Structure 1
Amino acid sequence: MTFKDAVRRLFLLLVCVPGTEGADGWTVTYHNTTSCALKGSTVEITCTFHHQLGINDRGVTAKHTFWFRKQQDNQRVDLRTNRTYIGRVRYHCDSDRCSLSINDLRESDAAVYVFGLITSQGSEVAGEPGVTLTVTDLQVTKNQNNNHMCQSRCPVSNPSYIWYKDGEKIQGKPDQTSYRTTSCALQGLEKFPSPPECNSGNSCATVVNVERSICAFTGSSVDISGIFYSDYYYKLSPLWFVAEREQQKWDIPGNVYQRKARFQGFARNGQLRLRITNLAESDSGEYRFGYKTYSRTYSFPGTTLTVKDPDLKVEVIWTSTGGTLVCQSSCPFSDRYSFYWYKNNRPIYRETSPVLKGHAFSEGRYSCGFERYHSREVYAPRIPTVSRNKEVVEGSSVNLTCSTDANPAATYTWHRSNQSLVSPQSLFHMSSVQLSDSGDYYCTAENELGKTRSQIVSITVTYGPKFSVLSVSPSGELVEGSSVTLTCSTDAYPAPSYTWYKDNQVLRQGSVHFYNFSSISSEDSGVYKCQTENHIHRKISQLVSLEIKKAWKQKATGIITGIFLAFILALVILWICRVRATQGAGRTQMQYWRDNFSPLCALSCPRLKKKGKRSVTKHGADVDQRSYEAQREPAEQQGELFYSTICFSHDHNKAIYSNVHLQKEKEDEVEYSFVRLDGPSPRHQEDVSALYSTVNYRTK
């Protein structure tokens, strides 16, 4: 930082004083409790602030920050809305630090300045006790050695001064040569010299400028005024106003009005005034008062005039009592100007102050004006509009843009189903969209004048078929004449179209996801598949083979299968009976047989009516006579084995089994029949329904 900048921003950063706790647990710490600055310079006051639990804890934030001047009535008026500070103050604040800058300091600016904030919960916090500002001017004094000294009440480290004698800049310090006045200024602040100091033993005249600097708008008029003091009578005719701009000087006679039509000089009884009308930027410069005596000409530091375009704009300032509009311009506010306010391009009568309060600013468009100049309108955000991709495909990126018309510029917040999203910008970007991102979105736009909300935008993520599965109903063997349905299942959005194939030949295309055979035939046999497709992707199902059997083949197959199963069942039954027959013995088992299975035997062995004779054995068994006679033939005449049919009598008192020998004379040679019936045993509880006959044929 240059020395010039150091001087222009005179403020003390000696110590960092302990913080003072305000309301709601907020602490404000000032870098210094006192500050001193020169008249016409710029001062900066800085502080830090924080919450005891930390910013954003429990949702506590500093929503608005401001500075105010401590007053006896304890009113906290934002300096930006104070008429005497409008255009001269600036805030520079962030999340935990805020500074106040005041330029073109005046003696009336000496006061105590306090930092304040408005929390997100609506409470107002003041960081007492604040910073005490002192505004002073330079003074020329002499020390014991009669040397000139330039002093002020503000401490300045390593100062560098500029000296003037009789209003003219000199090199180094003034000596004891003949001159009337001496003044000094800090380097970098030459426009703000000390008042002229008369040299001892000399009579002198001085000029006190009413204003050290003036800022005026192009096209307007301005009066530059001063007061002339003298300790004895001077012949002041003629008087001169000296204008200096870009190293050029020209004189304006104080009592002549024809020099330039726009310049009018006036000097009477020590009152000095120069009026300039229809100001132009080229009129900027320093205007000084001068006079001539018989011997020389004198001039004094004057008033610096700056001419600018108004560059009007309305600043919206939020206070604890609501919004306030301030008409800012390129020049600090001055009572010489009157402003006008407009709502929706219509004048608001009786409003000439640069500050406008007490209106529903969210319902209109406001602007301010001065003469032919007019500011831009300020207004709350209009209903935002949301633009997005025409289609949102799974895995792609999506941009949602919230736009509105607002002045000041709006800040944006994105919401999904009433939940705020972390994206405080007009653009909301999703890099890789998933199905879970589908939902309702909207944005809000907010500035100091109001808050509005957009319409809801529904986002539906589209995707191609994730799979294709072909199923057959009914499952199992298919027969001619039955109803068969093929179903193609998938998951896709938007809904896909379906293409059906048989042996790679297209059967049908459309939106129907099933293919039905009301009466299927053998000609429908083949390999089937389906394809699901939308504009994003497509999927082909697995192959399904259909084999259609004819109806008579199915019946024949059923009959054959039934016969085969019956045959197997009969074999099983015979095998079980044989096993049990070989295991059982005794009268008890035979009794069990007669009780349970003699009816079955009666049915399976009906009596012969015509062919052959039947004999009854001594135990009650009927014997087929033809079989008996055949068996009595010599064994050598029998070419094959003959069996005997034996049925038991229903008389339960008769013998259970019988040994039958057909040829008594040859009993030692042939055993024709041995019959044994097993009853139930502990290990075999199944029903016994078979009767076995054992015939042994012996050959001599």
Structure 2
Amino acid sequence: MKEETFSLRVSVNDDNSYSCALKGHEDHRSPPVYAPKLLSVSASPSGEIVEGSSVNLTCSSDANPAAKYTWYKENDHKLPSQQPQLFFFSSIQPSESGEYYCTAENEMGRRSAHVFIDVKYAPKLLSVSVSPSGEIVEGSSVNLTCSSDANPAANYTWYKENQTLFQGPERVYHFSSISSEDRGNYYCKSENKHGQINSASLFLDVQYAPKLLSVSVSPSGEIVEGSSVNLTCSSDANPAANYTWYKENEDSPKASGQIFTITDLRPEHSGNYYCEAQNTRGRRNSTLNLTVVAGAWKSAAAGSITAVLLVLILLAVFLWIRRENSFTQQCKCGERPDNRAQLNVGPVCDTPSSAAQRQAAGQQDDLHYASICFSQNQGDVVYSNVRVHPQRETEEEEEEEEEDGVEYSAVRFNNASSAPGTRRQEDGNDSCALYSTVNNNKNTP
């Protein structure tokens, strides 16, 4: 039998299948040949593919002769495969997400099919950023951004010092006009159904000029001369403020620093003091009044001096009044009083002068001397001391019945307020002398 070969050229793009038979023997056709068809690619397990799981990609087709399979990932990147129809991931990663396709090829033609692999995973690579970068000044606009890699997309929660501020899909937390109260630590949380993660903390430093300025003095209460005090100035400022102390109406500063110490206080330290708090964002002033009082010993000394001065003034007035009264009494003493009622003009002492005593001794042996004192403080009471000469005491008793003796008494008025110099007038004409005649006649009742 002669063997013959026939050939047929067909397009590989059609879906036809071809077979051959001998003429007259059409019932005995050869098996059909055709290019790959009904090509499909599947992933196992089906459903969501989660990071770290194992995944099989399978490619199948109907082809005669049998097709040869090749795996590719996006951009015709050929992948090695240990099995013709199977591509295997032992622990799939998010980076392996993408479009995969396989080709089935035989002598009759070539076909391809693809599958998209979406690997799901919890948030990762979380970070927080602030804009604008650099120094943040109170009143400016600021954005905090939380970024993460997650599939499916994450929801974000913002915190300040463990206090929840905001929750939602937005990654940005916005300050339209940031204030000093917004200063602090911030962080965010990124979360989806596969897991969650917290970011590192971000410190938001808001700078502002000094405010809430106050001044105080220690110790408090009355400030006594000679003591020491501390003047303290405090404020809320960022960056920290520098402090300078001034005294009112003085141009040069008194001190620098938060505490100003004044030792050995004097009255001249009294006045208004103010401190100035200043940083790169501004300055502010606050005033304190300081009053220094005299010490206890000075107060006592001042009181003693005042009392002494008052006593001296009163004494001067008293002496002046006494002097005026004395002058008036001396003038009145120039007249002789006629009775005892007129003698009550002040302390009066009657003492005979030396000359009178000598004259009386020469003329009359029985002269009696009398000393009479008139007290101004006692109405009409008169004290009289009559002294009898000792040598004549007996003779007087004998001659008492026979002689009518006359006794002369010199009465002298002494003003207690008179100056010592005025007593020199006693030997002469004493303006206050009063003469009294005493009849010592026995027959006189």
TM-score by length of 1: 0.31
Larger Rg: 2
Structure with more strand by fraction: 2
